[in-house]
Structure 1
Amino acid sequence: MSTKSQVLTLLMKQAPAFISGEEMAQQLSLSRTAIWKAINELKKEGHLISSSRNKGYRYDNSDVLSAEGIRLSLDSETPKLSIVVLNASESTMKDAKLAAINGEPANTLIVADIQEAPKGRFGRPFFSKAGSGIYMSMLLRPNQNFEEMAQYTVIMAVAIARAMDDLTQVQTEIKWVNDIYINGKKVCGILSEAMSDVESGQISNVIIGMGINFSLKQNEFPEDLREKATSLFPETEPTITRNQLIGAIWNQFYRILTQLPEQAFLEEYRQKSFVLGKTVSFTQAGVGYEGIATAINDHGELVVKLQDKTEKVLSSGEISLSSINPTL
């Protein structure tokens, strides 16, 4: 761990209290000069650190993404994560794929302050702004069969919804299969991709990515998105940091994984779904359909009853809902 990382971690642990430079130097076995240099570097990166001649240094609430801040928000039961924080990324999904190819370990998390070419499912672009969102991807090595792949997106959706509800007292909803909504507007999109082992036929790597609108003000969205998208804090100042939300999301995600094969998370997913009972339109294999979404099965697939009373079972990779309307 670098000197700067050690100093930042200690300041964050001590917050909101002051800690003297002398005590920091003793705890970290560093010189006072090294402490001073590290603090100046952290300030240049945007961290808010108060100083007092009599009291020392205090870390003030700063919404600067950092591996140290994320780690301090992780539960002891959550696996140790290898965390990479970037100022900018073309795509954290691409970064995670490269990490997989390069043999990086499981549970490698890549987080970016801004994503310069963000894309969701089917290559759709979405809006990104520095300092106002969370753009991250996780590399997993599950060694599971492909039919289990869909559940990762469902688990991730439940984990994000739980974390947002717990930390911000909002009421999230889920649009099947991969979008989180607040007050009828999209706040988060999730994307899962698998890499397979040809010989075993199993998934060798899973990459789960997401883009979360954190503190983007409503009037900052492009005009064509203002009625469709929102953020966790669209009008007020954030009451939590992005690091805290990131930690809470992965705490929930790994908590659900440890409870498998129990299906309790699926019931949560169903209860939060605003698609069930609605008339939905979709295209499958180039053919348009309309019907009532009647269920989400144990594989996370959507069951739709068509007008001719037959059923279509929709997997996440096959279709995109084009419209959702109340059933009359």
Structure 2
Amino acid sequence: MNTKQKVLALLRQNGAILSGEKLAQEIGISRTAIWKAVRELEKMGYQIERHANGYQYLPSDVLEADSIATNELQAANIFLLDETDSTMKDAKLGALAQQTTPALYVAETQTGGHGRFGRPFFCPRGQIYMSLLLNPNQSFEELPQYTLLAAVAVSLAIDEVTGRKTDIKWVNDIYLDGKKICGILSEATSDFETGRISHVVLGMGINFSIPPETFPDGLEKKASSLFPEGNAPVSRNQLMHLIWQNFFELLAGLPDNSYLKVYREKSFVLNKTVTFTQQGVTYSGIAKTISDTGELAVLTADGMKILSSGEISLQSIH
């Protein structure tokens, strides 16, 4: 550990006020070096209260690989960025560079973030923007339903930290109290020579804490955040850790597909009237079921229509 990390660890470990002299003795450096380390930690976003008799660590929401890591996702493979065009692009570049997987790319903000069909989205600082790079080496037929797995993992994690119940809009959006708070996107790259899936990138954006008045005009009616008033009881690191812990546990449990039961129970689309366009024709019907491979079956006046998440976006639900 460098000096900053040592100072941070001591302040966190104790929780009480520690004098510069005490910190200097513990680490074996000068008090001036302690002062400089504290200044650098403050610049990084850590909250350290200064008292007449020393320093005291206050809960701080700074991205940390060690805090996000799980047994399956090592801290060395978690890449933290202040600003990026898109964490999805970062993950794809990681694949080209043969990055060890699983690897996670996390950013404070994105300048070119997008959702399904290339739609741009609002990316204020201090939320959760991350993409996971996987190397499944499987055929399309063998490939797990990563988007559904991720939706369940995120939904359960948010339920746990908020004490409230989230809903899932087929196929990739998480809602809380009727407003969108998370979008999920998965993309796969195939190897034409082997016919196998070489890489999968699973990206998500989560509105962690955004005051309603800061949303662009009209968006506040459709979107919200987990803690719009601030004072979150958990950090972003803790939520990300829980999400990926859930995800890898679900993944390890395959072929057990009990996650599909959770996905269906959380769906607010099933048994509702939905409107969609397929091959240039607009249909309305009752969403009947979600298949084991993630397709939505809708009963219309023209019979049952099977909707694929990669081709169709629902236009209305009521």
| TM score, norm. by length of structure 2 | 0.91
- Residues 235 and 36 of structure 1: is their aligned pair in 2 closer, same or farther, counting only changes over 3 Å? closer
Match of 1:48 in 2: 47
- Residues 274 and 134 of structure 1: is their aligned pair in 2 closer, same or farther, counting only changes over 3 Å? same
Q: Distance in 1 between matches of 2:80 and 2:179?
A: 28
Query: What amino acid maps onto 1:242 in structure 2?
Result: R
Match of 2:81 in 1: 86
| TM score, norm. by length of structure 1 | 0.88
Match of 2:68 in 1: 70
- Residues 208 and 23 of structure 1: is their aligned pair in 2 closer, same or farther, counting only changes over 3 Å? farther
- The answer as to 2:77 corresponding to 1:104 is no
Q: CA deviation at 1:32?
A: 4.5
Q: Which whole-Å deviations, capped at 9, do the CAs of 1:262-284 have from their partners, x for residues lacking one?
A: 11111000000000001111122
Paired residues, number: 316
- Residues 30 and 314 of structure 1: is their aligned pair in 2 closer, same or farther, counting only changes over 3 Å? farther
Match of 1:194 in 2: 188
Range with bigger deviation, 185-194 or 144-153: 144-153
Q: Distance in 1 between matches of 2:135 and 2:166?
A: 29
- Residues 16 and 95 of structure 1: is their aligned pair in 2 closer, same or farther, counting only changes over 3 Å? same
Match of 1:151 in 2: 145
- The answer as to 2:8 corresponding to 1:16 is no
Q: CA deviation at 1:31?
A: 2.9
Range with bigger deviation, 173-182 or 56-65: 56-65
Q: Distance in 1 between matches of 2:169 and 2:248?
A: 22
Query: What amino acid maps onto 2:282 in structure 1?
Result: G
Match of 1:256 in 2: 250
Match of 1:39 in 2: 38
Match of 1:4 in 2: 4
- Residues 39 and 316 of structure 1: is their aligned pair in 2 closer, same or farther, counting only changes over 3 Å? same
Q: CA deviation at 1:196?
A: 1.1
Q: CA deviation at 1:9?
A: 4.8
Q: Distance in 1 between matches of 2:152 and 2:39?
A: 40
Q: CA deviation at 1:299?
A: 1.1
Match of 1:320 in 2: 313
1:237 to 231, 234, 242: 231
Query: What amino acid maps onto 2:312 in structure 1?
Result: I
Q: Distance in 2 between matches of 1:322 and 1:263?
A: 28
Indicate conservation of the 8 Å contact 1:153/1:192, yes or no.
yes
Q: Distance in 1 between matches of 2:14 and 2:251?
A: 32
Q: Distance in 1 between matches of 2:221 and 2:41?
A: 38
Match of 2:267 in 1: 273
Indicate conservation of the 8 Å contact 2:107/2:130, yes or no.
yes
Q: Distance in 1 between matches of 2:102 and 2:23?
A: 31
Q: CA deviation at 1:59?
A: 2.5
Query: What amino acid maps onto 2:87 in structure 1?
Result: T
Identical columns (%)? 54
Match of 2:282 in 1: 288
Q: Which whole-Å deviations, capped at 9, do the CAs of 1:99-122 have from their partners, x for residues lacking one?
A: 111111102111111111221000
- Residues 272 and 30 of structure 1: is their aligned pair in 2 closer, same or farther, counting only changes over 3 Å? farther
Q: Distance in 2 between matches of 1:283 and 1:10?
A: 59
SS in 1 for 2:218: helix
- The answer as to 2:309 corresponding to 1:311 is no
Match of 2:114 in 1: 119
Q: Distance in 2 between matches of 1:153 and 1:177?
A: 7
Match of 1:220 in 2: 214
Query: What amino acid maps onto 2:4 in structure 1?
Result: K
- Residues 15 and 63 of structure 1: is their aligned pair in 2 closer, same or farther, counting only changes over 3 Å? farther
Q: CA deviation at 1:237?
A: 2.5
SS in 2 for 1:87: strand
Query: What amino acid maps onto 1:66 in structure 2?
Result: E
SS in 1 for 2:221: coil
Q: Distance in 2 between matches of 1:161 and 1:135?
A: 16
SS in 2 for 1:146: coil
Range with bigger deviation, 32-41 or 103-112: 32-41
- Residues 236 and 197 of structure 1: is their aligned pair in 2 closer, same or farther, counting only changes over 3 Å? same
SS in 1 for 2:226: coil
Indicate conservation of the 8 Å contact 1:192/1:209, yes or no.
yes
SS in 2 for 1:226: helix
Q: CA deviation at 1:233?
A: 1.1
Indicate conservation of the 8 Å contact 2:73/2:103, yes or no.
no
Q: Distance in 1 between matches of 2:102 and 2:310?
A: 24
Q: Distance in 1 between matches of 2:14 and 2:105?
A: 26
